[in-house]
Amino acid sequence: MARIAGVDLPRNKRIMIGLRYIYGIGISRSKEILEKIQINTNTKIKDLNDEEIISIRNILNNEYQIEGDLKRLETLNIKRLMDIGSYKGRRHRIGLPLRGQRTRTNARTRRGNKKTIAGKKKAPRK
């Protein structure tokens, strides 16, 4: 099992798909990385030799922000928006959708599942 950037890549998948398990790498970026190293995209991860794995690690460490660094950068950007009081920052702060979605009926993911106000009447205690 190849371990790159702290992530265990699945052995039986193609390398182009396996690289996507790393946070910050999608399909286009994985193709770009494999073209730089000149590895076939259909190669399985278990068929890679040590030099190829090391070259993938070197490219990821030197040229891209992935995993923890990328997550830290995203949280800093969100905090910056909240500090300057922008519209998106205010929406982040109160937990509502940012990009103009309707909130009256939808947006359950951001707002959470609310309970109804008028519940079932309880029988009086005797």
CATH, residue 81? 4.10.910.10
Q: Which domain holds residue 25?
A: 3-64
For 116, residues 6+ apart whose C-beta sits below 8 A from its C-beta are none
pTM of this structure: 0.73
What pLDDT band is residue 84 in, cutting at 50, 70 and 90?
A: very high
Q: Are residues 11 and 33 in the same domain?
A: yes
Q: Are residues 58 and 99 in the same domain?
A: no
Q: Are residues 7 and 19 in the same domain?
A: yes
- Is the pLDDT reported for residue 116 higher than 80? no
Q: Are residues 74 and 101 in the same domain?
A: yes
17/25 Cα distance (integer angstroms) = 10
What pLDDT band is residue 109 in, cutting at 50, 70 and 90?
A: confident
6/1 Cα distance (integer angstroms) = 12
Q: What is the mean pLDDT of residues 14-20?
A: 92
Q: Are residues 73 and 87 in the same domain?
A: yes
Q: Are residues 41 and 26 in the same domain?
A: yes
Tokens 């982040």 belong to: 92
Could you tell me which of 62, 64, 59, 35 has the C-alpha nearest to residue 51? 59
Count of the separate structural domains present in the chain: 2
What pLDDT band is residue 31 in, cutting at 50, 70 and 90?
A: very high
Q: Are residues 50 and 77 in the same domain?
A: no
